[in-house]
Amino acid sequence: MPELLTSVELFAGAGGLALGLERAGFQAAALVEFDKNACATLRANFPDTPVIEGDVRGVDWSEIAAPGETDLVAGGPPCQPFSLAGSQRGEADERDMIPEFVRAVQGLRPKAFLMENVRGLLSPRHADYYRRVLERLAEPALGLRYTVTPNLVCAADYGVPQQRWRVLVIGIREDQNPEGFAFPEPTHSFEALLHSQYVTGEYWHRHPVPEDDRLPLNKPHARKLALVKQNGPGALLPWRTFRDATCDLGEIGPVDRSHHTRHALWREPIVNPPWKMHPTRPDLPANTVLASHSGSARFNMVQLPEGRARELTIPERLRAQTFPDTWQIIAAGRQSALKQLGNAVPVQLGQVAGNVIAAHLAAQRPAQGLAA
């Protein structure tokens, strides 16, 4: 049996990245998280993993592992300073925890690191800071160097039923053959989904939606469909849609509270006129699952057949983030649950990143005689 790789994760939240990395073959030596509700969620779902509850700035990394013993340091520093949905104060925001991620890499000296963040980090107003972050990650300490590859990815392109854009910054230590590392190409595409829906019709055979309730083609989609008809869908799989992910939860319509888990009882789903909303269309991947109530109320809605919209249920958000249905979200109330789910890394995306990092590190072991 292959030896498990070790990881340490900062800003672990609800455990989406941790679960993805576990599925990829990493065993977490520690999960660090500040929010007490998220820590309760982590303990409920990872009962055998140490959870460090508190401010990451107070963590002594030498107490976690000796330098060089950890295979992977991972985490998604709080994204509010760079989020396109926020004020984008960047490094001036006291919530900017990227320096703490760098400090963890300095202290643990892992073979690789994975830092997840919002694509707002790439905006022109943060260009100088982003450049300095990459420089610090490339050489976080004297004699410690990494080859750093930033990857802007859409989660839907890797099988997640959600259009969630994220920056994955991956570093491979200089003694781990960094030149041989590459992030995997997408496995799913919008073009293949259009082909399945409007060329072969296979999608509608699986989901017998009345024609009047099907996704209408806007002009950009129609142009893309014309190219698909001309050139074919390619070799990729279709994007997974919200309907694909949730079809066995029941018909998409107003929520019947008696048929949902206790999580649904945390809120009365909001129903609003669609012109004030930007709802998820069931036959596309879901909109980005958001953490804030104000953002969630606008974007984390689903379009109903009669033209209205309602807020996504907790089970639907779990599916959109590719958590298993059995995942326990321990929260003091509805807002805490939304925050945990909205801040999470989709499990499937975490596993994709974990798989390629694990495979790369494992490939270096024979040449090193399985040494650390």
Q: What is the pLDDT of residue 197?
A: 94
Question: What is the band of 89 on the pLDDT scale with cuts at 50, 70, 90?
Answer: very low
Q: Is the pLDDT of residue 263 over 70?
A: no
The mean pLDDT value for 335-354 works out to: 97
Q: Which CATH superfamily is domain 5-184+345-364 in?
A: Vaccinia Virus protein VP39 (3.40.50.150)
Yes or no: say if 340 and 50 are a contact pair by the CB < 8 Å rule. no
d(CA 298, CA 311): 9
Place of tokens 């698909």: 228
Q: What is the pLDDT of residue 244?
A: 98
Helices of type H across 258-301: 293-299
Which residues, 6+ apart, have CB-to-CB distance to 85 below 8 Å? 290, 292, 295
Model confidence pLDDT, tens digit, residues 130-184: 999 999 999 999 999 999 999 999 999 999 999 999 999 999 999 999 999 999 9
Structure token digits, residue 189:
């595409």
Q: Is the pLDDT of residue 81 over 50?
A: no
The mean pLDDT value for 241-248 works out to: 97
Q: Which of 39, 79, 154, 247 is catalytic?
A: 79
Q: Is the pLDDT of residue 246 over 50?
A: yes
d(CA 46, CA 43): 5
Q: What is the pLDDT of residue 299?
A: 76
Q: Is the pLDDT of residue 80 over 70?
A: no
Q: What is the pLDDT of residue 126?
A: 83
Q: Which helix or strand (DSSP H or E) is residue 136 part of?
A: helix 127-138
Q: What is the pLDDT of residue 214?
A: 84
Active-site residue flag, 154: no
- 202 or 254, which is more confident: 202
Q: Which sequence spans correspond to the domains of the chain?
A: 5-184+345-364, 188-235
d(CA 264, CA 315): 8
Mean pLDDT over each residue of the chain, to the nearest integer: 88
